[in-house]
Amino acid sequence: MNDKPEKFIDENGLRLDGRQIDEIRPMTIKIGVLSRADGSCYLEWGNNKILAAVYGPRELHPRRLQKADSALIRYRYNMAAFSVEDRARPGPSRRSIEISKVSREAFEPVVMTHLYPSAVIDVFAEVLQADAGTRTAAINAASIALADAGIPMKGLVAACAVGKVDGKLVLDLNKPEDNYGEADLPIAITQDGEITLLQMDGDLTQEEFKEAIKLCKEGCYQILEMQKEALKTKFSDDADIDIPDD
């Protein structure tokens, strides 16, 4: 069934879900939701629901996989069977293997793996409900879970997608925009603005591409602020102290 909307942006410049073209979906963050994990985060972003868990650093088995001078990061992105309208087939797929790989690489520049030779840091990102942008939502949750686990990092990683509908660039695609849009460009950045993940589907001109990166980075910076705020609240509540702003 083709449920492609006739128009994605109305005469007032608003999208189908009422957002401005440069507005991200509402996000809520809960930290430390799993008592057995070293770090965890439950994150809702629009209708996406993600649970991230971090275990480690811990000794890597089998030992032949150990790296003598650093820790190995493993990242598993998984969609629960019930996370989409039609049941998602359980087990790894080409898509989930690809997302796991690029997401792991998004964290490698920031995680200080050299501090933990021979160890492994396991990151699990479970998509409980999917509604476009799950890889970026999972990275945002994983970033917080890594911090919650006390893993030394040079900074957080934040991710967001930008796309194109009705010939216009829009930030943080919703499901119809993702399904029927002209382009989809997810990125992840460090707090210094270094891009650690960049993928692209569809077509953009060079000018649009530059503009898209700029717009998307602005979205990522907003997310970084939310991530930091959530972590500050969690740790100041835990320690019962006031943590001053930067």
Q: Which residues bind ligand ADP (CB under 6 A)?
A: 84, 86, 88, 95, 130-135, 175, 178, 184
The β-bridge relationship of strands 48-59 and 72-79 is unpaired
Q: How far is the CB of 95 from ligand ADP (least distance, A)?
A: 6
Nearer to ligand ADP, 102 or 119 (CB): 102
Least CB distance to ligand ADP at residue 174 (A):
10
Nearest approach, Cβ of 39 to ligand ADP (angstroms)?
Answer: 22
Q: Which is nearer to ligand ADP, 133 or 219 (CB)?
A: 133
HEC string of 191-231?
Answer: CCCCEEEECCEECCCHHHHHHHHHHHHHHHHHHHHHHHHHH
The Cβ of residue 236 has, within 10 Å, a number of other Cβ atoms equal to 13
Give residues with Cβ within 8 angstroms of 175, minimum separation 6: 47, 131, 132
Q: Could you tell me the CA-to-CA distances from 102 to 79, 136, 150, 186 in Å, in that order?
A: 16, 11, 23, 11
Q: Output 201 or 237, the one with its CB closest to ligand ADP.
A: 201
By beta-carbon proximity to ligand ADP, the closer residue of 43 and 119 is 43
Task: Note whether 107 and 157 are within 8 A (CB).
Answer: yes
The bridge status of strand 48-59 relative to strand 119-129 is: antiparallel
Nearer to ligand ADP, 49 or 234 (CB): 49
Nearer to ligand ADP, 6 or 85 (CB): 85
| Rounded Cα distance, 232 and 243, in Å | 7
| C-alpha span between 157 and 153 (Å, rounded) | 10
Q: What 8-state DSSP symbol labels residue 63? A: G
Please state, in angstroms and rounded to a whole number, the distance separating the CA atoms of residues 109 and 52. Answer: 20
The amino acid occupying position 45 is: W
When the beta carbons of 38 and 178 are compared against ligand ADP, the nearer one is 178
Q: How far is the CB of 60 from ligand ADP (least distance, A)?
A: 28
CB of 196 to ligand ADP, least distance (A): 16
In the complex, the smallest distance separating the C-beta of residue 206 from ligand ADP, rounded to whole angstroms, is 23
CB 224, min distance to ligand ADP, A? 19
